[in-house]
Amino acid sequence: MKLGNTELKGRAALAPMAGITDRAFREICISYGASYVTSEMISAKGLTMGDRKSGFLMKIGEKEMPASIQIFGCEPDTLALAAKAAEQTGCIAVDINMGCPAPKVAGHGGGAALMKEPELAAKIAETCVKSVGIPVTCKIRSGWDENCINAVELARMLESAGAAAITVHGRTRRQMYAPPVNYDIIKEVKKAVKIPVTGNGDITDGESARYMYEYTGCDHVMIGRGALGRPWIFKNINEYFETGTMPPDPPIEERMSVMLKHIELLCEYKGEYVGMREARKHAGWYIKGMRGAASFRREIGALETREQLKELAEKVIKSCDE
């Protein structure tokens, strides 16, 4: 798949996830072969008002390229200003969030709430497209609820508005992240538009990625929760498509080494106090399924220093070797 002038290498992209896909995690995923990564969603209003947190979220570095910046909101002119600011970072595209189900976003007219306002969604896309010289993409859901499955209608409108590509999460806003994924709606969107379509939802390995590609005919796939504590999933999927065989997850030593590197980057970019507190959730994902994971989670909840994390990693390795 090609996004603007960027030829994407790799079979899967990293989905934007609030509080997760920060600079540290994006760098790790790119190092493991993610085709591209997307920032955490950034408030267009906060950005244009000079909000410090929004500005921090927009920072990207060379080691995480190619990267896209995702913005959210419901005011076309405000989103256009945010898109211009995003373009200045050197990102390959600006993505508009039209699928976030969180009440604090959808409850204020942004995210998935735009599924109920397709004309407004199209206006936002058109205004942003006219304001920047890089591709503008949109991430949508299948619809608002079971009575409003309108991804095909909205996709056509977004294409007409100038969107360069569309990502479809095959669930409604009401479903949040509950099964099942509606692969048929992604397939219908792909048939309805000429621009690239990315399939998103429950991709956890090479087989599920292949199924998404083959069943829906989509041009690319995007991975969200399947990458939590498993950034090597991108490398595994790339190898699966090349060889037909799904490689196993890395040995425990490598998994712990990746975790330590990830948290080092977190602390480098956010400081140890903030980094170590955010490290707790990531550490929990890295040890998921390992022997003694339940008892280790109690220790994870009390982590405050990188030295404590190193000691924990050694315990995990020793536990799995016994």
> Could you tell me the domains of the chain?
2-243 (3.20.20.70), 252-321 (1.10.1200.80)
pLDDT at site 290: 83
- CA-nearest of 168, 98, 95 to 135 is 95
List, as one string, the DSSP characters of 171-222: EETTTTTPSPP-HHHHHHHHHH-SS-EEEESS--SHHHHHHHHHHH--SEEE
The two most distant CA atoms of the chain are separated, in Å, by 61
Structure tokens at 252: 């425990």
Contact of 230 with 249, CB cutoff 8 Å: yes
- For residues 8 and 312, what is the distance between their CA atoms, to the nearest angstrom? 37
Average pLDDT over residues 126-152: 96
pLDDT tens for residues 92-104? 999 999 999 999 9
Find the radius of gyration of the CA atoms of the chain: 19
pLDDT at site 289: 84
Q: pTM of the prediction?
A: 0.94
- CA-nearest of 133, 124, 212 to 167 is 212
Least confident of 84-88, 113-117, 153-157, 295-299: 295-299
Q: Which residue has the tokens 């407004």?
A: 120
- For residues 154 and 205, what is the distance between their CA atoms, to the nearest angstrom? 29
In sequence order, the 6+-apart residues with CB closer than 8 A to the CB of 240 are 205, 206, 207, 209, 210, 246, 247
Give the amino acid at 200. Answer: N
- For residues 191 and 98, what is the distance between their CA atoms, to the nearest angstrom? 20
Q: How confident is the model at residue 322 (pLDDT cuts 50, 70, 90)?
A: low
Give the amino acid at 27. Answer: E
Contact of 54 with 292, CB cutoff 8 Å: no
Q: How confident is the model at residue 72 (pLDDT cuts 50, 70, 90)?
A: very high
Contact of 38 with 21, CB cutoff 8 Å: yes
Give the amino acid at 235. Answer: K
Instruction: Establish whether 74 is a catalytic residue.
Output: no
Contact of 50 with 17, CB cutoff 8 Å: no
pLDDT tens for residues 239-259? 999 999 999 999 999 999 999
In DSSP terms, 13 is beta-bridged to 222
Q: How far is CA 31 from the centre of its chain?
A: 16
Q: What is the 3-state secondary structure (H, E, C) of 41-85?
A: CEEHHHHHCCCHHHHHHCCCCHHHCCEEEEEECCCHHHHHHHHHH
pLDDT at 293 over 90: no
Choice among 29, 74, 91, 100 that is catalytic:
100
- For residues 55 and 103, what is the distance between their CA atoms, to the nearest angstrom? 23
pLDDT at site 295: 85
Beta-strand pair 2-3/6-7? antiparallel
pLDDT at site 298: 86
Beta-strand pair 67-72/37-38? parallel
